[in-house]
A and B are shown apart, each in its own frame.
Chain A
């Protein structure tokens, strides 16, 4: 069974540019969450979507946006990139937001480097 897939694997951008990261959840999973992980730190919550509706937003600026499509895949967009946006961006999917079935399964992430 395919796990959570993210693309691209690696990306290099320059300051001020815009980037779109993509995520396909495990088949049957309707909840997708995005996290930013800076080296040496735990993942930081950015967004959660369930059934195509935003269910949560972390403490990130408006430069970060996301959406979920009818097939439950998701995109994370970051505008006006800053050096501090360099990080591993993780997507996680779960069957639902609640209970044990809410345990999230992570993709391998997109490593974004800003020059």
Chain B
């Protein structure tokens, strides 16, 4: 089966750093994705990890440890516009496809 866990809600201060954790237990693994979703909008792609380690992309970084089934998304220099839901998703290679299994999302609130 597929199980992806992430915190439901987090609150952080503008200008600060926040780390959103994701743990997963899946039958197959071919990459982990992070998406940002503002209320009423489509998810937008943030990052992709398939090998262990840190991927940095501007204010956003994502880390993966396959042996621990663990990833985190790090957001630096938080801005009010970063208030959104952050979705962790694991890609299942079964059938040669591109099925993503999503967590329930972490609602991040950035405060002044």
Size of chain B's interface in residues, with CB distance under 8 A? 29
A residues at B contact (CB < 8 Å): 4, 31, 33, 35, 40-45, 48, 50, 55-56, 58, 90, 94, 96-98, 100, 102-109
Q: Given A55, A108, A109, which contacts B98 in the complex, CB threshold below 8 Å?
A: A55
Instruction: Identify which of residues 43-101 in chain B touch chain A, using a CB-to-CB cut-off of 8 Å.
Output: 43-45, 48, 50, 87, 89, 91-101
A to B CB contacts below 8 Å, 25 in the list: A33-B100, A42-B104, A42-B105, A43-B100, A44-B102, A48-B99, A50-B96, A50-B97, A55-B96, A56-B95, A56-B99, A97-B96, A97-B98, A98-B30, A98-B93, A102-B31, A102-B91, A103-B33, A103-B45, A104-B98, A104-B100, A106-B35, A107-B42, A108-B41, A108-B42
Contacts of A103 in B (CB 8 A): 33, 45, 48
Contacts of A43 in B (CB 8 A): 43, 87, 100, 102
Contacts of B89 in A (CB 8 A): 42
Q: Is B95's CB under 8 angstroms from A55's CB?
A: yes
Q: What distance in Å separates the Cβ of B24 from its nearest Cβ neighbour in chain A?
A: 12
